[in-house]
Amino acid sequence: MKARSRYFYLGGFLLLLVVAYFFFRSENKEQDSDIFTTVSQGEFYISVSGTGELKAKNSVKIRAPQGMRPAGIYETTLSDLVPEGTIVSEGQYVGSLDRTEISNKMSTVRSEIEKIETQLEQAKIDTAIEMRALRDQLVNLNFSKKEKMLLVEQNKYEAHSVIRQTELDLEKIERDYSQLEQKYVLKEQQTVAKIREINALLRQNQQKFDTFVELSDEFSISAPTSGMVIYARTWNGKKEPGSRISAWDPVVAELPDLTDMISKTYVNEVDISKVKPGQEVKVKVDAFPEENYSGVVLTVANIGEQLRGYDSKVFEVVIQINESDTIMRPAMTTSNEIITDTFHNVMFVPLECLQTDSLSFVYLKQKGETVKKEVITGLSNDNQIIIEQGIEPGDQVFLSIPKNNTDLRFIPIDPEIKKEILRKQEEAKKEREARSQARRDKIKNIDLPSNSGRGDDGMFIIIE
């Protein structure tokens, strides 16, 4: 009997343990479903990120000859170009342009010159014959005039009618002689003018031919200075052998200054208002992820543009790289983090912690009780937000909304404290704007890139 009673009590105790186990286990599970985080305090960064491309801040541009357009050659083919990245010395061969069109023009002008030379020679021969005939006529008329003068002298004792007829014949010959003399002079002037015109046309074509010869020589490209050859880029890619070179966009390649680099990036129109000249930038080169560089925003475009690969309009931002490194090469991809604002010794929590109704608040674990605590927020970045008032560093706040949250106690901020915090926020905003303006003023003393933008401005070299 005692043994049975002992077994009964033991069984009841075990059953109680099992019930207690499942009860506390379910309670712990309910607690484990809530996710907490600790309020942090320290440095807080607001940044805008963008992928960019390295470029030389300054470069010597190699262009096709300026004489292409005056010569009537508006486009030609780049027949040869040394491999991109080739290190060249001043005067060293870089590439060449196709001479087919200019050779055809030279052949046409050469044929025209030969034709004009033939015309000139024929004009000289024809003129010589005509002038010789006129001179012969003048000689003959002069002889006839002398005969008539002699006849007038002989007939002075003849009848009056005979004398008169002889005088009329003499007058006619004298008139014919005078007219022929005038014709000779006019013919001579006409001949000189014609020869001069043909000679002018010959010189004009000869000059054109000489220009084509000089231009043809300039189709062989040499390096104007020492450096690394980087192919020029257009909207549809690099200019390589086989590419068409336009007289309006004659850049063939560039010789960049690799000691002074920039990164050209594009920022979404949603974030561009945060980006200002003078802001610090953290730069990484994708090819060398272990290397870290610093930079500063030089320019921010005023007008957006729609580019391939972007869903919305973007604005061009040029970043000056502060360091010089031999591993940097034009066209390398960079990851740029533009620091738009920096705050020291501030509290911040993940954005998921912040709840909003008519007021901003967080769910806070306070002395074992879960409460809704009003907070005053500051600026935010992509992941976190500054808390100006309402919680303390080290507090435990909910990342998720707790169960039964409608019955939780709400703790507001004193209105006077709230008013003071908002006033301080306005003052801090003005101070940040003043610092931003000072950074922009400082940037004015930095030389801007000579080859920035999508145009073809900047330093250039004419190929010789």
Residue type, 79: S
Q: Helix (H, G, I), strand (E, B), or coil: what is residue 409? A: strand
How does the average pLDDT of the chain come out, rounded? Answer: 83
The answer to whether the CB of 252 falls within 8 A of the CB of 242 is no
Q: Which pLDDT score, from 0 to 100, does residue 464 have?
A: 29
Alpha-carbon span 432 to 429, nearest angstrom: 5
Question: Which one has a higher pLDDT value, 445 or 124?
Answer: 124
**Polymer length of the chain:** 464
Question: Which one has a higher pLDDT value, 361 or 140?
Answer: 361
Least confident of 177-181, 269-273, 380-384, 399-403: 177-181
Q: Which pLDDT score, from 0 to 100, does residue 195 have?
A: 87
pTM of the model: 0.62
Compute the CA torsion angle 30, 31, 33, 37 (nearest 10 deg). 170
Q: Which pLDDT score, from 0 to 100, does residue 407 have?
A: 83
Q: Which pLDDT score, from 0 to 100, does residue 458 have?
A: 37
User: DSSP state, 152?
Assistant: H
Q: Which pLDDT score, from 0 to 100, does residue 310 have?
A: 80
Q: In this structure, how many other beta carbons lie within 10 angstroms of the beta carbon of residue 348?
A: 24
Question: CB-based contacts of 184: which residues, under 8 Å, 6+ apart?
Answer: 131, 134, 135, 138
Q: Which pLDDT score, from 0 to 100, does residue 186 have?
A: 82
Least confident of 19-28, 316-325, 355-364, 375-384: 19-28
Q: Which pLDDT score, from 0 to 100, does residue 434 have?
A: 84
Q: Which pLDDT score, from 0 to 100, does residue 218 have?
A: 87
The answer to whether the CB of 283 falls within 8 A of the CB of 321 is yes
Alpha-carbon span 113 to 202, nearest angstrom: 6
Residue range 132-145: average pLDDT?
76
Alpha-carbon span 83 to 253, nearest angstrom: 11
Q: Which pLDDT score, from 0 to 100, does residue 139 have?
A: 80
Residue range 101-110: average pLDDT?
90
Q: Which pLDDT score, from 0 to 100, does residue 460 have?
A: 31
Residue range 128-151: average pLDDT?
76
Alpha-carbon span 17 to 29, nearest angstrom: 18
Reference 456, options 235, 292, 260; nearest CA is: 235
The answer to whether the CB of 48 falls within 8 A of the CB of 271 is yes
Q: Which pLDDT score, from 0 to 100, does residue 449 have?
A: 67
Residue range 358-365: average pLDDT?
91
Q: Which residue has the tokens 């060449």?
A: 96
- The yes-or-no verdict on residue 20 having pLDDT over 60 is no
Alpha-carbon span 416 to 423, nearest angstrom: 11
Q: How confident is the model at residue 9 (pLDDT cuts 50, 70, 90)?
A: low
- The yes-or-no verdict on residue 155 having pLDDT over 70 is no
Q: What share of the chain has pLDDT > 90, as a percent?
A: 34
Alpha-carbon span 353 to 391, nearest angstrom: 12
Q: How confident is the model at residue 4 (pLDDT cuts 50, 70, 90)?
A: low
Q: State the sign of the Cα–Cα–Cα–Cα dihedral 238, 242, 247, 252.
A: positive
- The yes-or-no verdict on residue 439 having pLDDT over 90 is no
The answer to whether the CB of 398 falls within 8 A of the CB of 36 is yes
